Each structure stands twice: as structure tokens, then as C-alpha cells.
Structure 1
Amino acid sequence: MRRFCYKCGSTESEENPLIGGLCRSCLSAQPSLRLPKLELVECPRCGAVKVGGHWLEFQEGVRQIVFSHLEVASFESGAMEFVKAGEIGAQVKVEAEKRRGEVRIQVRSLQPEVGFLQTSLPIKKETCRICRLKSGGYYEAILQVRGKNLENVRKLLEEEVSKTSKEDGRLFITRVEEVEGGLDYYLSSVELARRLGRLLRTKHGAQLSETAKLVGSRGGRRRYRVSVLARVNHHN
């Protein structure tokens, strides 16, 4: 029994097979990738993108959001239907470019027969938790660096925090104050203050001491603000 393309009416043959009821010509004209209407939420300060309850670097965040919603044409049932890309293990490359008030998205399938999608998604601005903490002056610990000729020490500490912050955005310097005898670093984490203190001990022979001050309670647990004192041997 002859079959016909339901779109153009052409007859099925060896040279013109039907896939999902469509001839090759009509099939190639059909969109094979699609996205529902989406809105990206971006932090205006750091550019991170909200994915569920988390914030990710812009490109990775966009990639995860697009892939989780992307639908790919499937012909498993004999007719064309769209299924989630993740459900069938589709391999795609997502590229994102920021424009005014929107993100331009290009999705390319690594399977040539699947195709290409280009669209734009609107951007909503929302400050992420880390940037809210930074702008609010939040800190849990103070690293008190004491010594002379601290230029190299300051460079070492700020390079270390820059590297650490890329691995974990919760670790950051809120502010640095020049005080008599040295520098005070207001830090987001007690562990960060201790880590930097150990770094100064290793690199500059610093002598370390630590004190804690009760500043309140949360959920029935006492909260302390820790100060780590690092006396630097400037001859190292």
C-alpha cells in the first residue's frame, strides 16, 4: 500500500522515504528543536544566573536552564512528537550572548539530522544572596595582620581570596581597613580567616592567635565573631 507525505502529498519511495509521515523535504522544513517561553533571572551585580534555588556562572546557568526545558523531535511512535532532550540523551551545544534586556540563545545539535534553534529569552534582575551579603557589609571573622612592609602580604592574601572565591562564592572579603600596625580583613567565613592565617604562617612565618566574641544567637545556638591575629615576620 502506498503511503503519502501528509504535508505535501508526495509518494513514498526508496529515494523519498517517509519519516513520521513526512518526506525528507517537509521534514527538513519542520522545527526539530523547541523551547517553551522562559525567563532568565540574572544577578545585576555578579552576572550569575538563578537555576532552581542556586546561582551559577552565566554560561553554565543558561546551558542548564535551556537543556532542562529543551524539546527534541522524536519519531519513535511513527509520528513526529516532541520529548525532553534529557529523556532521550540528546547532545546539544548551547551558546548564549547577552543583549539589552535579553539573552540570545543558539542551540546546535551534535546530531546533524536534529538541527538548530535560535531564540531570545527575556532577563529579570534579582540580586543573589552572596551579593546581598557583600553589599550589606556581612562578615563572620576578622583577620588582623600586623607587621611592617605588608605590600607583598596584601597581594598574597587578595590573590588567594580571588582564587578561592571562584571555587566557592560564599568566601569573600567584605572590606579591608588600614589600621595602626597593619591591616584588618573583614571576611565572610571563619574558616577563610583561619586558612589565610595558615597561609601567612607558611609563607611569612606569622605567629597566630585567635579570639571569639559572642554576638548573639540564632535558632538557639550562640553566634560568635572570630578574630584571627597574624603577626608577620617581615624578614621572611
Structure 2
Amino acid sequence: MTQHRLTVGYVPGVTPAKWARTWAERHPTVSLQLRTVPAAEAADALRNGIVDAALLRPPADSSGLALIALYEETTVAMVPTDHLLTAADSVTAADLDGEPILLPLDDVVAWADTPGAPVEHRPETTWDAVELVAAGMGALIVPQSLARLYHRRDLTYRPITDAPVCPVALAFPEGPQSALVEEFVGIVRGRKPGSSRGRAEPAPKRTAREKTLAKQAARAAAGKAARKPRRAT
């Protein structure tokens, strides 16, 4: 491969560690840089060339982007641990009737008729909304991975059984792609090393030192991807 670096963005809650490990094992001499991007800025980061590809929740405006659906997340309601909604293992939209609902400006749940009573003040970010949930200002509807990412001991969450799911996709600019992007697409899709698709060239046989470097790179990439943002206590 003629390039020596691939930059992949990912939004909060998405964990690219397993793909980073596979990349490091197959291409120890080609750097894979993982960059966290805010959900509201992920599409523009691709369009502006800040990242070569991104793992994101599909935006309402996907113009200029190619998307490959990966999986769907359960939608949950985050509430204080002593909230009435915690009495059951799951809730429905009807259970949220009359409940104050926080809608952050970077909201990623595409629910046209969000249940409950939307709070007039819209926090800047999902993390700001989590702080308000802890202060008793209302409930927050998010993908399950974000509820886990922003976990606090005084908060919990319950699946909303009739809520729309939250899809996650691999995105990259439309049009011809570099060999590195094609290779990453193949890895995310689960193609084997010998597949004729998603690979620009066969992988050369590695020396013992290269194998050691690959393992070290995989551990470093996985640790970086799994690191959570610092939270106030």
C-alpha cells in the first residue's frame, strides 16, 4: 500500500477496538489512527477530509456519504435509580407520558413522536443532559451504549420496548476509495485475510519482530478506543 496512515473517526458509544486489533494484526506497518468525533460533527468530518472513514449513527443529511449498515442498538430511558420507572425491567412509550424529557442538541435518537413532555431548555450535549437527569430535571432517551458510556452510580436505564432502534453504520465519502479505506471496509465486514475483495495486495509474511509489534499496536489501539471521557464526580 502506498499510504502509511488511515484515520477513522467514531462517535461516542461506538467501540472500534475489535476492528483496530484486526487492522494491527494484518498491517503492522500501516498506522490506524482512531479519533473520537462528536455525533453532530461526524458527517462534516468526513466531508471535510478530517477523517477517512467513520463509525457513526447515520445523520438525517447523508448527502455525499456512502453508508454500510452495521448493527442496531436498543433505545433506553435514563433516569435516577430511585425513579418510579425502575420498578419494571422495561418500559413503553406510554409509561413516559407526562414525564419531562431532556432533548440535547446532539440527540441521536430519530423518534418523530418522542413521548413525554419535552423540557424547553435543550442542553448542548448528551453528557450535559446526563448531568440534568442526575439533578432530577427529567429523563433522557438514548442508545443503550451511551447509557453505559455515561454510567453514574445514581442513574440507571430501562429499555423502551416500542421505541425505534438506533442504527450504527460505517461511512465514507461517495466515489472511488483509497486502498486503505477499501481494506478497512473489508475488515469491518468480516472478510478474511485471503479475500480478493477489500484488499489491495496480499499480506507479506511477517517476521517474529513484526508479529510482536502488531500485538503491541493492537493492545494500544484497543486501550485508546475503550477509554471513556472523564466525568465529574
Fold match, TM over 0.5?
Answer: no
Q: Taking structure 1 as the reference length, what is the TM-score of the superposition? A: 0.25
Q: Taking structure 2 as the reference length, what is the TM-score of the superposition? A: 0.25
Which structure is higher in strand share?
1
Which structure is higher in helix share?
2
